[in-house]
Structures are given as C-alpha cells and as structure tokens.
Amino acid sequence: MPYQIERTKTGIKGLDELLEGGFPAGRTILLSGASGTGKSILAMQFIYKGALDYNEPGVFVTFDENPDKIRQDMLKFGWDLAALEKKGKLAILDGTSGRAGVPSDEEHVIMPGLDFNRLLVNTARKIGARRLVIDSIPAMGQLLDKEGDIRRNILKLAFSVSKADVTTIITTELEEQDVKAGFAKFSKYGVEEYIADGVILVNMLTIGSDENRTIYIRKMRGTKHSLAIHPMHIESTGITVMKAEDIFK
C-alpha cells in the first residue's frame, strides 16, 4: 500500500479538493501576492478554522498590522479571535509594535534584541500549536539592515519551524503580475520558495471590465494538485475558491 501523507485541512472552502485533501502536515507553505489580493485573510482563515473546526491551536505572527486592528477586522467574517485567545487556542504575536518602536499591551510581543525564533517556538509549545502563520516576510525583513541577513534569518526561521512540527503559512508581498504573460517572481528575496514545501500565488485577473481575485498552486510537495488558475472570492464568511471551469468559460 503506498505511503499516505498526513493532511492538514486548510479551512478554505474549495481549496482542499485541489490539494488531495489539504496541506501536507508539518510543512511550510509560501503564500505570495500583491497588496489587496487576500493573503492575510486567507492565512487567518487557516488559523481560525483550524482552531475552531479541527481543534488545532494556532499562532499568528503579525509584522504588518496592529493585533487589535486584526481582531476588529476579522469580526466582519464572524471570527471572534479574542474568544479563541481566551481558550488558549490562538496566540497573536505582535511584531508590529517593535518594528514601529512603540510599546505594546499584547501578551506576546516581538521586540528588537529578542530571539524571535525562540519566542515563536516557545509560544507554539505553550498552546500546543499545530498551525502557524507569519505575516509577512518583507515586513519582518525591515527589522534587519542587510538583505544577506534577511536571507539567513529566513533559513533560520525555516529550521525552527520544522523543529516545532507545525503546518506553516508564510506570506510575502510581490508586485502585481500579468497572469497571461506568466508569473515571473514567487518571492521577494529569492529564497522563500526554495525553503517552502508549497508555493501558492494569489493575484488579480482582469476579465473585461471586472477585476477577479485568483489563486494558483505553483508547487506542493508530495501532492497531486491542480495546475489551473482558480477564481477566489472574499465573501461574508471568508474566502471561497471556485472551480476554474465554473467561471472562466
């Protein structure tokens, strides 16, 4: 009987069926895309649904947004992050305050000079995390001066995550790309896609006068996955991935 890879349900409606049932458990997925394509929502949906529907606690590391703003914004989807935090099923690590050089009232804070990787692993162990999101790599990179240091820290982060045995999404922001011309870039620093077991791109596609969000699975190790570009809708309850043939006819 062939070896069956354990799967982590994404919590994204329509995505698991494109991935043989979900992400390979314990692996790292790079989620790339331009601003406004839905990266942070997709990543938080992965964390929230994991904790709520699959009893898999998660850690969400934010270098882009204030945690309170994230809690408020996610309520529009009916996602009560604070309730999960109180139950010990979710921890939000505040990397934004340290990057801005301002104090934070958060329980989990990443300040300059602290060992981020150790803090991350300790927080994950504290709540028994099975899922992790780091949002985003370019914002994290702003804490460092040299691009070489950023690349080394990305590699160190990948090693720490693998030891923590959690299924991880790391996000990175790219300039908007012309899908019809083919994707030219998959990461900002040119190293993220090589340390990741999977690469997913979210993008905007113009059809007629309409702008459409799309999702494309570039690679997913150990997985027979769709190679089509699929429509992705942000609805009142979160993100839904549609079948390409249902929309692009």
Query: pTM for this one?
Result: 0.92
Q: In 4-78, which residue ranges form alpha helices assigned H by DSSP? A: 39-53, 67-74
Output the pLDDT for position 154.
77
24-202 folds as Rossmann fold (3.40.50)
Tens of pLDDT, residue by residue over 66-84, are 999 999 999 999 999 999 9
Strand partners, 215: 202, 230
Model pLDDT for residues 140-178, shown as the tens digit of each residue = 877 665 566 777 777 888 888 887 889 999 999 887 766
Domain layout of the chain by residue ranges: 24-202
pLDDT digits (tens, 9 = 90+) for 127-142: 999 999 999 888 887 7
What order of strands is seen across the sheet that includes strand 198-207?
A: 108-109, 90-94, 58-62, 131-135, 167-173, 28-33, 198-207, 210-220, 229-235, 238-241
Q: Across-strand partners of 93?
A: 61, 108
Mean pLDDT (whole number) for 103-127: 89
Which DSSP category does 243 fall into? P
**Model confidence pLDDT, tens digit, residues 184-228:** 667 666 778 788 999 999 998 876 667 889 999 999 999 999 999
